[in-house]
Amino acid sequence: MKGVPLEDSSLTTSNIEEMGIMFSIRMHASRKIKSEKSKIKKTLNSKLSTLNSIHISGAEGIYEEADIQKVCGEYIKRALTHSRGMPDEIHITIEKIKGKPSRIPLLAVKTLKCSSADEAGKIITKRLSEMGIPEKAINDAFKVLKSRNVMRGASLMLAESGRRVEPDKNRGIRVSRMGIEKTAGRQLAQKLSKMRINSTTVNEALILASKVAAHPDIIAEVCISDDLDYTTGYIASNKFGYLRIPNIKRRGEMCGGRVFLIKENSDINRVIQYLEKMPVIIRMV
Ligand code: WAQ
Ligand code: MG
pLDDT, tens digit, for every residue of 62-71? Answer: 999 999 999 9
The answer on 109 and 81 residing in a single domain is no
The answer on 137 and 74 residing in a single domain is no
Q: What is the mean pLDDT of residues 10-26?
A: 65
**Within a domain: residue 255?**
yes
* C-beta of 58 in contact with ligand 1 (< 6 A): no
pLDDT at 198 over 60: yes
Q: How far is CA 275 from CA 177, 211, 238, 240, in A?
A: 8, 8, 15, 20
Question: In the 8-state DSSP scheme, what is residue 88?
Answer: S
With cut-offs at 50, 70 and 90, classify the pLDDT of residue 201: very high
**Within a domain: residue 203?**
yes
**Within a domain: residue 47?**
yes
Q: Which of 152, 157, 211 to mutate to test the pocket of ligand 1 (most atoms within 8 A of CB)?
A: 152
* C-beta of 144 in contact with ligand 1 (< 6 A): no
The answer on 124 and 89 residing in a single domain is no
Instruction: State in Å: Cα 145 to ligand 2 middle.
Output: 13
Please tell me the total count of domains within the chain: 2
Q: How far is CA 37 from CA 34, 123, 150, in A?
A: 8, 42, 20
What type of residue sits at position 245? I
The answer on 57 and 23 residing in a single domain is yes
- Note down the domain range covering 215: 103-283
Which ligand number lies closest to the CA of residue 212?
1
The answer on 249 and 114 residing in a single domain is yes
The answer on 279 and 159 residing in a single domain is yes
Lowest-pLDDT choice from 43-52, 217-226, 260-269: 43-52
Mean pLDDT of the chain: 89
| CA–CA separation, 72 and 27 (whole Å) | 8
Nearest to 93 by CA among 176, 31, 182, 5: 176
> What local confidence, expressed as pLDDT, does residue 206 receive?
98
**Within a domain: residue 4?**
no
> What local confidence, expressed as pLDDT, does residue 197 receive?
98
pTM confidence score: 0.89
Count CA atoms closer than 13 A to 144's CA, side-chain side: 30
Helices of type H across 60-181 = 68-80, 117-130, 135-146
**Within a domain: residue 220?**
yes
> What local confidence, expressed as pLDDT, does residue 246 receive?
98
* C-beta of 233 in contact with ligand 1 (< 6 A): yes
With cut-offs at 50, 70 and 90, classify the pLDDT of residue 4: very low
Question: In the 8-state DSSP scheme, what is residue 107?
Answer: P
* C-beta of 267 in contact with ligand 1 (< 6 A): no
The answer on 255 and 197 residing in a single domain is yes
Instruction: State in Å: Cα 107 to ligand 2 middle.
Output: 21
Nearest to 220 by CA among 156, 272, 279: 156
| CA–CA separation, 241 and 206 (whole Å) | 10
First-to-last CA distance in the chain?
A: 23
Question: In the 8-state DSSP scheme, what is residue 175?
Answer: P
Q: What is the mean pLDDT of residues 126-136?
A: 98
Closest C-alpha residue for ligand 1 atom 19: 225
Q: What is the mean pLDDT of residues 161-168?
A: 98
Sequence-distant (6+) residues with CB within 8 A of 102 are: 214, 278, 279, 280, 281
| CA–CA separation, 73 and 97 (whole Å) | 20
> What local confidence, expressed as pLDDT, does residue 3 receive?
39
The answer on 194 and 59 residing in a single domain is no
Q: What is the mean pLDDT of residues 34-51?
A: 53
Q: Which of 157, 225, 245, 271 to mutate to test the pocket of ligand 1 (most atoms within 8 A of CB)?
A: 225
**Within a domain: residue 2?**
no
